Amino acid sequence: MENKILGLHHITAIAGDAKRNHNFYTSVLGLRLVKKTVNFDDPGTYHFYYGNETGAPGTILTFFPWEGIRPGYTGTGMATEIGYSVPAGSLEFWKNRLTDKKVKQGEITERFGEILLPFQDPDGLKLNLIIPGKEDARAPWTTDAVGTSEATRGFHSIVLTLKNVDATAKILTDIFGYTLLKQEGNRYRFITTAVEDGGVVDLIEEPDGTPGLNAAGTNHHVAFRVKNDEVLMAFREKIVAAGHHITPKIDRNYFFSLYFREPGGVLFELATDNPGFAVDEEVSELGKNLKLPAQYEARRKEIEKVLPVLVD
C-alpha cells in the first residue's frame, strides 16, 4: 500500500464542563460517545471520544473537559473551525433544532460552492454543518431525535488560521500529498484524493491576526490518519528529513501517534487506524464504561471519585 495521509483521523478540543459537554454532543448533536477514558497526563480529567457507531477514523471528535478552565479564544496559529458533513436538505432541521436547544448559531451561508450552517458549542467551540458538493456515503450514528436524513456523517473539514499560509501549505502538499483546490479571498482549500470524505483542510491567512488562547472552546490539536504503524513511521522519516521536530511513536491504546508542531503553530498528530476502539470493549458497549490506561487501573477507585458524574 502507498504511504498516504487518509484525511482527518480525529480532532481534539478543550471543554470546561464534562457533563455539559457530554449532554451537548450526545443529546443535541446526536453523536455516539464511543470511548470514556481519562487524559494520559491528567487521570483526574476525562477524555471523551465522540463519533459514529465504531468511532471510525474521520468521525472522532475528542475532548479534554477540564472543570472550571477559563474560556479560550481563537487566533492565529490555531485550528479554528470544525466542519461536519450532513445530508442535503438537512440544514433547516438543524437550524430549528439548534434554535430549540438555544444554541448560538449564524446564518446559513455558502463557501466554495457548499452550503453550511455555523454554530458554537456551549464553550464557544466553532463548528459548521456542511452539505458537501458530493454526497457523503458514510453510515451515520442515529438517535430518536436525529435520524438518517439529518445525522452527521463525520468530518468534512478543519480550518487553520495562520499569519502566513506558505509553510503550512508546504507541509500539506510536499509531505501529506494534498493539493490546492481553490482560493476564496484569504481562504485556501486543500484536498486529498486518498479518501472520498473527511479530508478537506482550509487555511485562512491573517497577516495582522493575533494569537488565540488555548483553553475552553478551542481546539488542542488536529490528527491526520494513516493506515498502520509502518506508514506512520515512514511519515516520521519524511517529517524529520524536512527538518521538523517530531515525537517518538506513542501508544494511545486505540491508535499509535506522532506529534509535531507545524510551522504556522498548529499541533499536528499522525494517528493509525489500528487497533481501534473495540480493542477493550465490544462495539455494542462502546462508551458505556470507564476505560483506564493500564498504568492507572490500580487507582480506579480513587480516579472514579474525582471524575464528574455525567448523568443524574
φ, ψ dihedrals at 201, nearest 5°: -125, 120
pTM (2 decimals)? 0.96
Q: Please state, in angstroms and rounded to a whole number, the distance separating the CA atoms of residues 46 and 190.
A: 33
Model confidence at 311, pLDDT cuts 50, 70, 90, reads confident
Q: Please state, in angstroms and rounded to a whole number, the distance separating the CA atoms of residues 69 and 72.
A: 9
Does pLDDT of 253 surpass 80? yes
Does pLDDT of 287 surpass 90? yes
The residues facing 63 across adjacent strands are 13, 48
Q: For the segment 183-231, what is each residue's pLDDT rounded down to a tens digit?
A: 999 999 999 999 999 999 999 999 999 999 999 999 999 999 999 999 9
Q: Please write down the long-range contacts of 93-96, taking CB distance under 8 Å and 24 or more positions apart.
A: 93/149, 93/150, 94/129, 94/150
Domain boundaries, the chain: 8-306
Q: For the segment 68-124, what is each residue's pLDDT rounded down to a tens digit?
A: 999 999 999 999 999 999 999 999 999 999 999 999 999 999 999 999 999 999 999
Are 246 and 111 in contact by the 8 Å Cβ rule? The answer is no
Q: Which three cell numbers stand for residue 161?
A: 488560521
Q: Please state, in angstroms and rounded to a whole number, the distance separating the CA atoms of residues 162 and 204.
A: 6
**Look-up of cell digits 442535503:** 88
Q: Which three cell numbers stand for residue 92?
A: 433547516
Do the strands 78-85 and 126-131 form a parallel or antiparallel pair, or are they unpaired?
parallel
Question: Looking at residues 129-145, what average pLDDT do you find?
Answer: 96
Do the strands 200-205 and 219-226 form a parallel or antiparallel pair, or are they unpaired?
unpaired
Helix H, strand E, coil C: the string for 205-256 is ECCCCCECECCECCEEEEEEEECCHHHHHHHHHHHHHCCCCCCCCEECCCEE
Q: Please state, in angstroms and rounded to a whole number, the distance separating the CA atoms of residues 198 and 94.
A: 20
Does pLDDT of 1 surpass 60? no
Question: For domain 8-306, is the CATH number 3.10.180.10?
Answer: yes
Does pLDDT of 148 surpass 50? yes
φ, ψ dihedrals at 296, nearest 5°: -110, 0
Question: Looking at residues 44-53, what average pLDDT do you find?
Answer: 97
Model confidence at 2, pLDDT cuts 50, 70, 90, reads low
